[in-house]
Amino acid sequence: MGHIDSRVLQTIIETANDHFFIVDGEGRVLDVSPGAAAVYGMSREALTRATVQELEARGVLKPSISLEVLRTGRPVQLMQVTGTGRRVIAEAHPVFVDGRIERIVSRSRDLTDLQLLQDEYALLQKRFSEHLRRSHAGAVADDGGLDDALEALQVRSGVMREVALLLKRVAPSDATVLMLGESGVGKTAFARQLHRWSRRGEGPFVEVNCGAIPENLFESEMFGYQPGAFSGAARQGKAGLLEQAEGGTLFLDEIGELPLLMQTKLLKVIQDGTVTRLGDTRPRRVDFRLVVATNQDLARSVEAGRFRLDLYYRLNVIPVTLPPLRERREDIPALVENCLASLNRRYGRQKLLHAGAWSELMGSDWPGNVRELENWLERAWLSAPGDMIEAPPWRAVSTPVMRPGGGVDGDEVVKPPGVAPGESLPDYLSRAEREVLATLCGELASTYAIAERLGISQPSVVRKLRRHGLRIHRA
């Protein structure tokens, strides 16, 4: 391949949305893109008369990414503060000639407006926390239906009230909310409440589990398709989930599982406000409020190359962390009462919880959070022979699961109760299978994860869940 014509290179620099610097192996700035002047506070001519060492010393570059490349000899990516106070994402790459750095090409993208939003809402959250601490254990007046919503969510703890207050304050805006927290803490329930509080509350709430859709179907499900776009496509075509969220809220659960290609496409939708169906060339305008959730550390995923940095900053506008159940045990009684009432309605019997079971309920750390608590209660309800539910003796008994090849999974699955009087072996096996699957539905986020845990195929898991009337409980 021949060298790029200098005119082509110059055109790229002149027209790029990003801000380019070209630096030589001594740190001298050879060229910058025209837009860099507004971000870095110096004219293009002044920048090209300086070295990056001088610019860093004067505070124009804090820090200089080119100097970091010169120090390490490797590509570098970092957050940078410019002389005008702008925050940018910068990345730089060395160009080697005969084993020495001949040039460094860096580019940066201004994220100041996004950072200001983050700072604003971080300050807002801090003020809410301070206000609640001054309010005698969070006893504040009902704020436009807040107490009714908290009652529906079975919230009693001060820390969860703070979360609800923050969500209620940001609900009228269209700012993207990133919900963080362990699996099973109730992220979906709070996302739905955020939607109800928003000006889009009468519109659709479209929930998507990014870990539950096969990668080969993800694009057609999310973006939709035109008639004849691929073999097996519906004759009339189909609107994707992004279009279905028009006028409402799109909730992307397990956003950390989103494939990299889809991350790129989602970023374009967020930036342009348009979506193009498979097999179509005409972009369609979409208008929805985006809420995402994950139990992963997205910053680490970015470092590992599994998640796009620019998408991360687009999503991380208003981060809201839901604490685990072990840090808000005050919520357990209300959750238990609500779940027990639901079970009694579903199964048509009025069972009560024995007083002795409360020590088990309140003393457990509940690593699976609300989801695990609800599954524990359902198993206890089903196994109780009479109308009194006691702490099941099999709560603490566990059985390791064998992986294919003879390995033992370190995670544990609750062991089901023994054979009931008069119960046949097929009935017992079916019941045992259902209870194991019910447990995993409360602990894992997708049928693929369940298949991996049990050492069977994903289609087998789907068939078994359908046969037992089970579904994955997302939170």
Domain range summary for the chain, segments of one domain joined by +: 6-110, 114-323, 330-396, 398-475
Burial code (b: 16+ CB inside 10 Å, e: under 16) for 175-210 equals bbbbbbbbbbbbbbbbbbbbbbbbebeebebbbbbb
Kindly tell me the sign of the dihedral angle through the C-alpha atoms of 270, 271, 276, 282: positive
Using pLDDT thresholds of 50, 70 and 90, give the confidence band for residue 113. Answer: low
Annotation: CATH topology of 114-323: Rossmann fold (3.40.50)
Say whether pLDDT at 439 is over 70: yes
CA dihedral angle for residue 437, residue 440, residue 445, residue 451, rounded to 10 degrees: -60
Contact at 8 Å (CB) between 438 and 469? no
CA angle 382, 344, 158 (to 5 degrees): 100
Q: How confident is the model at residue 385 (pLDDT cuts 50, 70, 90)?
A: confident
State residue 430's pLDDT score.
Answer: 79
Per-residue pLDDT band for 5 (boundaries 50, 70, 90) equals low
Q: Is the pLDDT of residue 306 over 70?
A: yes
| Residue matched to tokens 């870990």 | 211
Confidence of residue 147 (pLDDT cuts 50, 70, 90): low
Q: Residue 399 in contact with residue 413, Cβ under 8 Å?
A: yes
pTM of the model: 0.57
Q: Mean of the pLDDT values across residues 255-277?
A: 89
Segment (H or E) for 285: strand 284-285
Residue 241 has pLDDT above 70, yes or no: yes
Fold classification of 330-396 is Helicase, Ruva Protein; domain 3 (1.10.8)
Tell me: pLDDT of 1 over 50: no
Task: Please list the alpha-helical segments (H only) found in 176-256.
Answer: 187-197, 215-223, 241-244
Report whether 206 contacts 245 (CB < 8 A): yes
Q: Give the homologous superfamily in CATH for domain 6-110.
A: PAS domain (3.30.450.20)
| 349's tokens | 């019997």
CA 319, 321, 325: angle at the middle one, nearest 5?
A: 170
| Residue type at 430 in one-letter notation | S
Please give the angle made by the CA atoms of 467, 212 and 377, to the nearest 5 degrees: 55
pLDDT band at 121 (very low <50, low <70, confident <90, very high): low
Residues forming a β-bridge with 206: 250
CB 390 within 8 A of CB 354: yes
Peptide bond into 63 cis (omega under 30): yes
Say which residue the tokens 């005698």 belong to. 136
Across residues 99-128, what is the average pLDDT?
70
Mean pLDDT of 379-387: 86
pLDDT score of 361: 85
